[in-house]
Amino acid sequence: MRIALVGPFTGPSLSGAFAFSEGAGPLPPGYPGAPLMTVLAQALVERGHQVAAISTDYSTPIAELEPFRAFTGRDIKAYFCPQRPRSFRGAYGRRGRMLDFFKYERDSLRAAIADFAPEVIHAHWTYEFVWAALDSGVPTLATAHDSPLKVVRFTPNMYRLWRYFMARRVLARCTHLTAVSPDLERDLRALTPARIEVVANPIANPILRSPGCVPQAFDSKTLMMVLNGWTDLKNGATALQGFAQARRSDPALRLVCFGSGFEAQGEAQRWAAAKGLAEGVEFRGPTPHAQILETMRTCRALLHPSRWEACCMSIAEAMSVGLPVIAGEATDGVPWQLDEGRAGVLTDVTQAATMAASIVALGRDRARWQALSQAGRARAHALFAVDPVVDRYVALYAAALAPSAPLHLAAAQA
């Protein structure tokens, strides 16, 4: 099949996975985030499909990208479309992207889609990417990665409110739709006429097949957090409070924090220092994915305090390398990922004291740590192994190309 993957790709992840012609120069930075989309692209190319990666980039001046820039690789074609850098205020002589619901970006994405001329599109995140795909007229499978209502509930601002209305419009038009967890599927049922299939995010085989945590990981007394954003949704403040309380029982405990907002001298560190909570905490901020994975192999646990997730990639990757996870018992998506507590520690992340107690209890029980490490890896293989995930998607692409049959029946027959 000739498949266009439309969604958040990073240039570095694509150039690390595929060989591109040197004459065109380096790929643009692209859309920041985990290399989820590249994992999917690699798996489809390995199956012999013709694939295009189509994304946007707000860090490159729009005049350098419009209507798009295409890069030809040995096995893939990559398109980077311009994205206006501001949501409401103007820049480069153009108004903010939210004021017209990303119309400029959607037009550029549609131009890139038309240039590649796919048989089917797999578009991710039910905002501008899926909207552009649906407008192209090409059969489209959409994948939802978040609950628009819960996002705006946990991050109540004008930008998220407008994004919510975008998602409502997009979801109402979807006829072929997947969600990355059962909790997300339940959230979206009332917003779309489509039957929603649950397909988890894939984890690359090299991660699943890695050696796992080193024998010294439990004794390291080092925890890590991977959170993007110093927000109430990600709940980093409560986690820092809980970690400080845990250090009263064991002052040797350390916490390493990754992600935007957690830079040295960034928002999280300034807040922690003002509250007297920075002792034993290292703030590293945005970090290359490979370094985060390597840190996972040497730590005692991943502390993940988020109040809402769909299918958290940090948790999935930690499970894949056997790093026990401490996360929210009432956080959507998390109990499912952690097999209702059989493959990780579920706790009340709204309370610093309960997080502290969970950190201390896990550090006192080596046998439990080892059991959770093994159970997490087994659960990761069952949910996130790339081959069955991609096989499922390929069946759903075939279903999208046969719209006369209901999605679940056509996919079952494919």
pLDDT tens digit string along 240-249?
999 999 999 9
Cis peptide upstream of residue 67 (ω within 30 degrees of 0)? yes
Position 74 scores a pLDDT of 87
**DSSP-based three-state secondary structure for 72:** strand
Q: Quick one: pLDDT band at residue 385, thresholds 50, 70, 90?
A: very high
Q: Please, are residues 52 and 4 in contact by the beta-carbon 8 Å criterion?
A: yes
Stretch (H or E) spanning 393: helix 386-400
pLDDT per position as a tens digit, 10-27: 999 999 999 998 877 899
Position 403 scores a pLDDT of 61
Q: Quick one: which of 204, 172, 181, 217 has its CA closest to 323?
A: 217
How much of the chain, in percent, has pLDDT values that exceed 70? 97
Asked whether residue 196 falls in the same domain as residue 238, the answer is no
| Count of domains observed in the chain | 2
Residue 414 has pLDDT above 80, yes or no: no
Asked whether residue 255 falls in the same domain as residue 346, the answer is yes
Q: Please, are residues 295 and 316 in contact by the beta-carbon 8 Å criterion?
A: no
d(CA 403, CA 93): 42
CA distances, 142 to each of 82, 162, 172, 187 (Å) = 22, 20, 12, 16
The whole domain housing 351 covers 205-383
**DSSP-based three-state secondary structure for 49:** coil
Residue 408 has pLDDT above 50, yes or no: no
Q: What is the mean pLDDT of the chain?
A: 94
Asked whether residue 209 falls in the same domain as residue 334, the answer is yes
- One-letter identity of residue 388: P
Asked whether residue 169 falls in the same domain as residue 289, the answer is no
Residue 66 has pLDDT above 60, yes or no: yes
213 C-beta neighbours (distance < 10 Å), count: 24
Stretch (H or E) spanning 372: helix 366-384
pLDDT per position as a tens digit, 72-109: 998 999 999 999 999 999 888 899 999 999 999 999 99
Q: Quick one: pLDDT band at residue 404, thresholds 50, 70, 90?
A: low
Asked whether residue 367 falls in the same domain as residue 401, the answer is no
Per-residue burial over 107-146, b = 16 or more CB atoms within 10 Å of its CB, e = otherwise: ebbbbbbeebebebbbbbbbbbbbbbbbebebbbbbbbbb
Q: Quick one: pLDDT band at residue 375, thresholds 50, 70, 90?
A: very high
Asked whether residue 402 falls in the same domain as residue 374, the answer is no
Residue 124 has pLDDT above 50, yes or no: yes
Q: Could you tell me the pTM of the whole model? A: 0.92
The secondary structure of residue 93, as a DSSP letter, is T
Asked whether residue 317 falls in the same domain as residue 217, the answer is yes
DSSP string, 180-242: SSHHHHHHHGGG-SSPEEE-PPPB-HHHHTS--S-TTTGGG-EEEEE-SSSSTTTTHHHHHHH
Asked whether residue 334 falls in the same domain as residue 229, the answer is yes
Q: Quick one: which of 269, 257, 272, 255 has its CA closest to 221?
A: 255
Residue 373 has pLDDT above 90, yes or no: yes
pLDDT per position as a tens digit, 175-204: 999 999 999 999 999 999 999 999 999 999
Position 409 scores a pLDDT of 44
pLDDT per position as a tens digit, 299-349: 999 999 999 999 999 999 999 999 999 999 999 999 999 999 999 999 999
Q: Quick one: pLDDT band at residue 217, thresholds 50, 70, 90?
A: very high
Per-residue burial over 351-360, b = 16 or more CB atoms within 10 Å of its CB, e = otherwise: ebebbbbbbb
Asked whether residue 31 falls in the same domain as residue 132, the answer is yes
Q: What's the CATH code of the domain at 86?
A: 3.40.50.2000
Q: Which residues pair with 140 in a beta bridge?
A: 121
Position 22 scores a pLDDT of 80
Residue 40 has pLDDT above 50, yes or no: yes
The secondary structure of residue 331, as a DSSP letter, is S
Asked whether residue 168 falls in the same domain as residue 150, the answer is yes
Asked whether residue 182 falls in the same domain as residue 250, the answer is no
Q: Which pair of structure tokens corresponds to residue 111?
A: 């131009």
Position 362 scores a pLDDT of 98
Of 60-64, 112-116, 406-410, the range with the lowest mean pLDDT is: 406-410
Asked whether residue 296 falls in the same domain as residue 197, the answer is no
Mean pLDDT of 141-149: 97
